Amino acid sequence: MRTCYLDNGSTSFPKPKAVADAVYEYMTGVGANIGRGGYESAYSAAEMVFEARQLLTELFNGPDCKNVIFTKNITESLNVVLKGLLKPGDRILVSSMEHNAMMRPLVQLMAKGVEFDRIPCREDGSLILEELEPLIKPNTKAVAMLHASNVCGTVMPAEEVGRICKEKGLFFILDAAQTAGLIPVDMEAQNIDVLCFTGHKSLLGPQGTGGFILKEHMIPLIDPLLSGGTGSISDSEEVPSFMPDRFEPGTMNLPGIMGLRAALLWHKEQGMGTVLGHELDLTEAFIKGLEPLEKEGLLRIAGIKGREGRVGVVSVLPAKTDPAELAFRLDSEYGIMTRVGLHCAPSAHKTLGTFPAGTVRFSFGYSTSEDDIEYALKAIGEILHGD
Ligand SMILES: Cc1ncc(COP(=O)(O)O)c(C=O)c1O
C-alpha cells in the first residue's frame, strides 16, 4: 500500500539526507565529547557545535552565539525558562491557543504562587490583540506565546505583541516550535527576550534537539533548572555564571546537534521562504479541496481558511464520523498518517470549538507533494461519503 506522511506538525519526515549523513559521520568519524578532551577530534566537535550556535544566531537574529543554549526539545526549553524566571507572586500572560509544553509548567508554577491568564483568541485561533493590555497588572512579568498553532496553523502577531511588551516593560518569550525554519523570527525586530525552538519539526533536525536563545539581560534572571559538570572551572562546585555553561550541564546530544547543524545549512541553501511557499501552496489546495465537503455538511475546517497568516497545519472535524475513526481509516485503508485528538493543546481546542472531540490534523512538509494532497482529499471524500 502507498504511504503518505502528513504528520509533519508532530515531527518532520523525511529529514534531508545531509542531516542523516551528518549524524552518521559524527558517530563513526568524530565521536568525541566537547569541553572534556584535549585532543583534535574534541576540538573539531566543539567547532561544529559552535557553528550550529552561529547558524541559529543568524537565523533568529539573536544577540550572541554564547547565548544559544541546547536542550533536548522545546518542552525542556520552556520548563527551564518559565521555572527559572517566574517567582511566587509573578504573573504571566499566555494566549488561549497554547500547547501543554507551556501550560503544564505554568500549572505546576501556579501551586508555587505564580499567576497566569490567557489572552483570548477568536474561533479561527487568531489573537485578539486589544485584549492583551487590559490583562496587564502591576505584577505581570512576561508574555509567553506560541508563534503558530500546532492545531490549526494560525500564526500569532509576534511583532505587535513584542512591541506592547517593550512599551509595558514585560519580557516576551516566544515558542517557535511550529515556525522555526519556516517563518522569519527576528529577536531584535520582534523584541523577543527569550526565543525557544525545537529542532525536529520545520528546522528538519533530529529528534532530541532544541534550545533557547537569551537576550543578555535575561541571563542573570533565570535560575538554572539543572546543574552539573560542564568541563569548565572544575575546581569549583558552583554553577558557572557564564554562557553557555550556565545552562548546559552534562554531556550534550552531539549526534543530534551535528544533524541540526546540517539541517540549518540545508535551510540556508534553500533560502528562507522557499519551504513556506511550498507548504502554503499545498495548504491552499487542500483547503479548496475540503470546502465542497464542508458545504455538504460532512466536516468542519478549524482555523483560518485562506493561505495568509498561517502555516501548513490543517485541522478537520468530521461531522458524522468520529475523528479517531477517520484517522484510523486513513491510515489502515490508504496509508495516510495524520494525528488525531487534542494534540496536547486542550485550551486551543476549547478556543476553536473542537473540544473534547478533537480533530484530525494534516500537516505538510517540504517533501509533501501535490499528488499527496490529491490522494488525501480523495481518501477523505471516499470515507466521509461512505464509499
Ligand atoms: C507549539 C508547540 N509548542 C511546543 C511543542 C512541544 O515540542 P517538543 O515535543 O519538541 O518539545 C510543540 C509540539 O508539538 C508545539 O507544536
pLDDT digits (tens, 9 = 90+) for 255-299: 999 999 999 999 999 988 899 999 999 999 999 999 999 999 999
Mean pLDDT score, 215-229: 97
Q: Give the max Cα distance, the chain.
A: 72
Q: How far is the CA of 177 from the centre of ligand 1 (A)?
A: 5
| pLDDT band at residue 3 using 50, 70 and 90 as cut-offs | very high
Query: Per DSSP, what are the bridge partners of residue 95?
Result: 119
Q: Is the pLDDT of residue 216 over 80?
A: yes
Nearest CA to ligand 1 atom 14: 10
Mean pLDDT of the chain: 97
Average pLDDT for 74-95: 98
The protein residue whose alpha carbon is closest to atom 16 in ligand 1 is: 150
Find out whether the beta carbon of 198 lies less than 6 Å from any atom of ligand 1. yes
The answer to whether residues 95 and 121 touch, using CB atoms and an 8 Å cutoff, is yes
- CB of 178 closer than 6 A to ligand 1? yes
Q: What pLDDT is recorded for position 41?
A: 86
pLDDT above 90 for 387: no
3-state DSSP assignment of residue 303: coil
Q: Check residue 93 and give its pLDDT.
A: 98
Selection from 318, 60, 28 nearest residue 213 by Cα: 60
Determine which of 32-36, 195-199, 224-228 has the lowest per-residue pLDDT on average: 32-36
Q: What is the pLDDT of residues 136-159, one digit of tens each?
A: 999 999 999 999 999 999 999 999
Report the C-alpha gap between 94 and 252 in whole angstroms: 30
CB of 156 closer than 6 angstroms to any ligand 1 atom? no
Span 321-379, pLDDT tens digits:
999 999 999 999 999 999 999 999 999 999 999 999 999 999 999 999 999 999 999 99
β-strand pairing of 4-5 with 210-214: unpaired
Residue 37 pLDDT greater than 80, yes or no: no
Nearest to 265, CA basis, from 61, 64, 74, 56: 56
CA pair distance 226, 80, nearest whole angstrom: 8
Residue 386: in which H helix or E strand, if any? Answer: none
C-alpha to C-alpha distance for 142 and 85, rounded to whole angstroms = 10
Is the CB of residue 246 less than 8 Å from the CB of residue 240? yes
Does 73 or 231 have the greater pLDDT score? 73
CA distance 174 to 192: 7
pLDDT at 272: 82
Give the per-residue pLDDT at 38: 82
Whether residue 178 has pLDDT greater than 90: yes
Output the pTM of the full model. 0.97
Using the mean position of ligand 1's atoms as its centre, give its distance from the Cα of residue 267 in Å.
20
DSSP for 78-110 reads HHHHHHHH--TT-EEEEETT--HHHHHHHHHHH
Q: For residues 162 and 158, what is the distance between their CA atoms, to the nearest angstrom?
A: 6
Taking the C-alpha atoms of residue 43 and residue 32, their distance in angstroms, rounded to an integer, is: 9
CB of 73 sitting under 6 A from ligand 1: yes
List residues with catalytic annotation.
344
Mutate to test the pocket of ligand 1, among 8, 70, 78, 99 (most ligand atoms within 8 A of CB): 99
For 370-377, which contacts have Cβ atoms below 8 Å and span 24 or more sequence positions?
A: 370/281, 370/282, 370/285, 372/4, 372/6, 372/282, 373/282, 373/285, 373/286, 373/289, 374/289, 375/2, 375/4, 375/334, 375/336, 376/4, 376/6, 376/286, 376/330, 376/334, 376/336, 377/286, 377/289, 377/290
Residue 5 C-alpha cell reads as 506522511
CA angle centred on 118, ends 69 and 322, rounded to 5°: 95
> Is residue 179 within 8 Å of 147, Cβ to Cβ?
yes
Residue 20 has pLDDT above 80, yes or no: yes
For 77, list phi and psi in degrees, rounded to 5: -60, -50
Helices (H), the chain: 17-25, 40-60, 74-85, 100-110, 158-168, 254-270, 274-295, 323-334, 346-352, 370-384
Per-residue pLDDT reduced to its tens digit, 63-82: 999 999 999 999 999 999 99
314 phi, psi to nearest 5 deg: -125, 130
